[in-house]
C-alpha cells in the first residue's frame, strides 16, 4: 500500500522550453511566500525578473511549468496568496535572479546577485558595502547592514520588500556559504 502514500510525483519541466508560465504578483513579499510554499511542495519553479512588457517596477515573477497551472494556483491560493496574473511566457528575456558573480578584491570579497552587490572584509567578515538596485528600500537595507558582521546583520529578506531585497538576500546567502 506504500504506493498510495507516495502521492503523485511532481513533473519536471525544461526551463528553456516553451511549456513555461509566469505568476505575477503585486507584492514581492507574496513572491517570497509563494516560492517557499511551492518549493516545499516539490514544484520546480524559479524566481525571475519579469519580461519588460509586464514590468511594473522592482518586481519579481515565478516561472512555473504551464501544464501544472491549475494545481499550482490551487496550492498558493490555499495558502492565501493570490497572484495578479498567471500567463504563458512570451519573452525570452527572463533573467534568473540567482546567478552569482564573485569578485575578489584581495582583502575584500564581493558577491553580486542580479542587480545587487554585497561586499565584506574577508578578515573580519564585516559588511563594508551594499550597492546596486534602485529600489526604494536599498538605502535602508544598506544602513541596516553596513558595518555589521555578516553573522549579526539582519537577513535582507526579513527587512526588505523588493526585488533588490530579494536579490540582496541571495547574495547574502551565497556569502554565508562561502565564508
Partner 1 sequence: MSTMVDARGLSCPQPVLMTLETIKTLDKGEIVVLVDTDCSKENVIRAASSKGWKASAVQPEGIEYRLTFTKG
Examine residue 87 and tell whether it contacts partner 1 (CB under 8 A). Answer: no
Quote the CA–CA distance of 105 and 107 in Å, as a whole number.
6
Task: Quote the CA–CA distance of 49 and 62 in Å, as a whole number.
Answer: 9
Cell readout for 154 is 539582519
Residue (17 or 149) nearer to partner 1, CB: 149
Query: What distance in Å separates the CA atoms of residue 69 and residue 170, rounded to the nearest whole number?
Result: 26
> Judged by CB under 8 A, which of 119, 161, 164, 168 binds partner 1?
119
**Facing residues of 132 across strands?**
116
Among 20, 117, 161, 169, binds partner 1 (CB under 8 A): 117
Q: Give the helix ranges, DSSP H, for 7-155.
A: 28-40, 69-78, 138-145
If binding is defined by CB under 8 A, does position 122 make contact with partner 1?
Answer: no
Residue 113 interacting with partner 1 (CB under 8 A): no
39 scored as a contact of partner 1 (CB under 8 A): no
Nearer to partner 1, 28 or 119 (CB): 119
Residues found near partner 1 in the complex (CB under 8 A): 105, 108, 110, 117, 119, 121, 128-132, 139, 142-143, 146-147
Amino acid at each position: 500500500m506504500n504506493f498510495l502514500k507516495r502521492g503523485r510525483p511532481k513533473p519536471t519541466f525544461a526551463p528553456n522550453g516553451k511549456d513555461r508560465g509566469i505568476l505575477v504578483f503585486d507584492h514581492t513579499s507574496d513572491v517570497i511566500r509563494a516560492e517557499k510554499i511551492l518549493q516545499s511542495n516539490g514544484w520546480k519553479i524559479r524566481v525571475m525578473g519579469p519580461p519588460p512588457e509586464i514590468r511594473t517596477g522592482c518586481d519579481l515573477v515565478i516561472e512555473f511549468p504551464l501544464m501544472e497551472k491549475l494545481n499550482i494556483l490551487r496550492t498558493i491560493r490555499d495558502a492565501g496568496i493570490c497572484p495578479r496574473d498567471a500567463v504563458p511566457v512570451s519573452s525570452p528575456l527572463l533573467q534568473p535572479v540567482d546567478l552569482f558573480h564573485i569578485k575578489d578584491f584581495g582583502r575584500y570579497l564581493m558577491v553580486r546577485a542580479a542587480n545587487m552587490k554585497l561586499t565584506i572584509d574577508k578578515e573580519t567578515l564585516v559588511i563594508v558595502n551594499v550597492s546596486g538596485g534602485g529600489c526604494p528600500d536599498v538605502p535602508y537595507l544598506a544602513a541596516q547592514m553596513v558595518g555589521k558582521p555578516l553573522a549579526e546583520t539582519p537577513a535582507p529578506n526579513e527587512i526588505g520588500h523588493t526585488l533588490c531585497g530579494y536579490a540582496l538576500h541571495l547574495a547574502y546567502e551565497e556569502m554565508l556559504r562561502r565564508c
